[in-house]
Structure 1
Amino acid sequence: IRTSEGFCVQADTFLKDIDPDEVTSFIIPGGDIAHVRGDELSAFLHSLGRDKSCICAICAGVDLLEEYGFLEGKNSIRTSKNLAVSDGRLITARPEGYVDFAVEVGKAIGLFSDEADIAETLDFFKYHKSEI
């Protein structure tokens, strides 16, 4: 999948080779989703344990979550003007919200040690501030 910025996202395995019980986070990128749209992806996402797996999508990837019924009754970028929205283990983001998206995903998977770590990450990547 090629993003609007020209980056290429290449899967390194097939969905059929992934055990849904071992998935702790699944990210659907944006870009041309025609290559990933379909019954196989829908069935796989629905097989994930919603209390265990963090399901995340940005840009056009959010369209797939909406199409597959994941956004019904949930807060998302469809119900908010925010750049990124978390509702439990479901995270959605607008294309320009990639830093906010990364931070929300990081929080959901326990990447940050504390609030200061989150603030430092936002300062560096979103506000371009550094200690140097």
Structure 2
Amino acid sequence: MSSSDTRKPVHLAVYDTLADWETGHTTAHLARAGYEIRTVGPSREPVVSIGGLRIAPDLALDDVRPEDSSLLILPGADLWDTGDDLAPFARTAREFLDAGVPVAAICGATAGLAREGLLDDRDHTGAVSFYLAATGYGGGERYVDADAVTDGKLVTAGPTEPVAFAREVFGLLGVYEGEVLDAWYRLFHDSDAEAYAVLQKADAL
């Protein structure tokens, strides 16, 4: 959509042990592009990130509907690998994808989606192939050894690729395109000074 006041919010999942460094590029530049960022917790009770940041969620997961959202972002967290506490977030991701609303998952969240069966029939990536294979999922043949992957409305990335993750989200939502998207990635991933001029000209900084 062309006007920020007609865009639906972007929903960022937050939960204890979330990897707070993985989504910063994504949410910062989406906010600058006019998207409202709304945090979604298991409840409205505060959560604490792996970096010790205390976050009071704007919404509880039960209150989130795909039709009210532009995108659901699922960060990594230790809790993805220590039990089923975050499984409701993967089920919500299914609801979003079924409704044609984008989902972006990074790091441990990709394992959550794998357990939910959402990667069985979609190209995807993650930390490493054997990390996802350990979930017992059926999508091993669709694993792509890349920094980030978009298949339809789903973006996936490994824990070391927050910039590539953001790039895929921006491309999917049409925030940046073409040479501007490429320049954004070159600036923030490669520290390419020449990319700065492209972004400055496009008013994309």
Which TM-score bucket, shorter chain as reference? 0.7 to 0.9
CA, structure 1 residues 12+92, in 2 after alignment: closer, same or farther (shift >3 Å)?
A: same
Amino acid at match of 2:60: F
Match of 1:127 in 2: 190
1:37 aligns with 2:100: no
Deviation digits for residues 44-65 of structure 1 (CA, Å, limit 9, x no counterpart): 2222253631111100010111
Amino acid at match of 2:77: G
Larger radius of gyration: 2
Instruction: Look up the SS of the partner of 1:123 in the other structure.
Output: helix
Tell me if structure 1 keeps the 8 A contact 2:71–2:104: yes
Match of 2:64 in 1: 18
Q: Distance in 2 between matches of 1:93 and 1:76?
A: 8
TM-score (norm 1): 0.83
1:92 aligns with 2:153: no
Instruction: Look up the SS of the partner of 2:190 in the other structure.
Output: coil
Amino acid at match of 1:26: L
Task: Give ranges in structure 2 of 5+ residues lacking alignment.
Answer: 1-16, 22-50, 130-142, 198-205
Match of 1:63 in 2: 111
CA, structure 1 residues 74+2, in 2 after alignment: closer, same or farther (shift >3 Å)?
A: closer
Match of 1:116 in 2: 179
1:48 aligns with 2:112: no
Q: Distance in 1 between matches of 2:167 and 2:178?
A: 11
- Give identity over the alignment, percent: 23
Tell me if structure 2 keeps the 8 A contact 1:15–1:41: yes
Instruction: Look up the SS of the partner of 2:161 in the other structure.
Output: helix
TM-score (norm 2): 0.56
Match of 1:3 in 2: 19
Task: Give ranges in structure 1 of 5+ residues lacking alignment.
Answer: none
RMSD: 2.4
1:104 aligns with 2:186: no
